[in-house]
Amino acid sequence: MNIIKYPARADWKTITVRPHIDMSKLNATVSEVLNDIRANGDEAVKRYEQKFDHVELHELQVSESELHEAQHLVSDDLRQALMLAHDNIRKFHEAQAFRPIRVQTAPGVECWQKSVAIEKVGLYIPGGTAPLFSTVLMLATPAKIAGCKEIVLCTPPDSTGHVNPAILVAAHIAGVNRIYKIGGVQAIGAMAYGTESVPKVSKIFGPGNQYVMAAKQHVSLGNVAIDMPAGPSEVCVIADDTSNPRYVAADLLSQAEHGVDSQVLLISTSEPMLYAVQKEVETQLQALPRKEIAAKTLENSKLVLVRDADEAMDLSNAYAPEHLIIATDHYEDLEPKVVNAGSVFLGKYACESAGDYASGTNHTLPTHGYAMAYNGVNLDSFNRKVTFQHLTSQGVRSIGRAVEVMASSECLDAHKNAMTVRLRDVIKEEKK
């Protein structure tokens, strides 16, 4: 990890830069696969499953017998953990329910909104080196609460053609309607365009590798909505002389093990803390089964010494991390200063892992600096807001002249006339 001491603000741009992702090299491959799936449906999907996931599939959908079998392959401990996590996620997202308000904006003019669930949503769940059954709960639970009629899930199978049983159990708990053994670009294409087996959805959610992210962005240009643009996972930890270096090191490594393109950033007001954390990272790294991945990630990571807490928060906001951990005893003083972050963890006991699994907040979050403009997945992600307005004759009187003047000034005479014909009739009725 690179130690940087008291950097000038002019150098922050360099500090906050992420590992470069050259999407241009992926786009040709991604476009070719997507076009093939659009044209050839299931046949193309099966062909790419054989090519990329090294499995020959006769049926793409997970069968009822496979779902039943999965129930017996998951330990009771994991099942109970999944149910606890699901309950907490459900509680947090149910509290986000939209409460409509009718507003009289002018005499005789009433406006309101209605929340309408997206009918068909698609969830992509990675299944590579770390099958993310937790993400099933994070996406399917709010989709179910929102009232989505069809929740479709795609996840890559193993070489025997089976899906990780924990993914299937999580999907059952959260209420997923259909599950398909499809991974990578071909999964995104199948949900975006629809095939003989896979229904076309209106919005696709979920993380993935660079190819999956490129595919999501490609299909979002005209075929389907997506949750957000995203890149590799990341964490920023703010520490001072009150922080626990063992906890901080563990938090940094928990993100570092995601993948070699992840990034971790430590910002501290204490120089001894930087070196204590660095030592702890080296010690804890040796015990990790995924230490090669984590070690590679640490090459892209930084330990930054700043002058005070205000400067620490300014640098964090400039970075706009996916996960922000404020690991100080005085986190209450810093919490109001958070502007750009996907999800925030306060105090020494709030590890990022809590939010990843079971606290209740959603772990599908904006990365790569997108936290400056995007929020994480929430209940609203699965809804649309439809606006309504009702005008009485009094309403026509209240805003009619303003509408005429504005329409005329924009040279949209038909717009003006639509109000004018009503305004004339209202005036006539008043004179009777």
Catalytic residues: 322-323
Give CA–CA dist 189/32, Å, rounded: 11
| Max Cα distance, the chain (Å) | 90
Give the number of other CB atoms < 10 A from CB of residue 102: 10
Q: Say if residues 304 and 219 touch (Cβ distance below 8 Å).
A: no
Q: What is the DSSP string of 346-372?
A: ESTT--HHHHHHTSSS------TTGGG
Give the relative orientation of helices 393-409 and 413-431 as an angle to the nearest 10 degrees: 150
Q: Say if residues 321 and 234 touch (Cβ distance below 8 Å).
A: yes
Torsion of CA 82, 85, 86, 89, to 10 degrees: -160
Q: What is the DSSP string of 270-339?
A: -HHHHHHHHHHHHHHHTT-TTHHHHHHHHTT-EEEE-SSHHHHHHHHHHH--SEEEE-STTHHHHGGG--
Give CA–CA dist 220/378, Å, rounded: 19
Give CA–CA dist 160/179, Å, rounded: 17
Q: Which residues touch 227 (CB under 8 Å, ≥6 apart)?
A: 203, 204, 205, 206, 364, 377, 381
Cα 378 to Cα 11, 98, 114, 183, 341: the distances in Å are 35, 12, 17, 24, 15
Nearest CA among 223, 325, 333, 226 for reference residue 277: 325
**DSSP class of residue 10?**
G
Q: Which residues touch 48 (CB under 8 Å, ≥6 apart)?
A: 33, 36, 37, 184, 185, 186
Phi, psi for 296 (deg, rounded to 5): -65, -40
Give CA–CA dist 167/133, Å, rounded: 4
SS3 257: coil
121: its two tokens: 């949503």
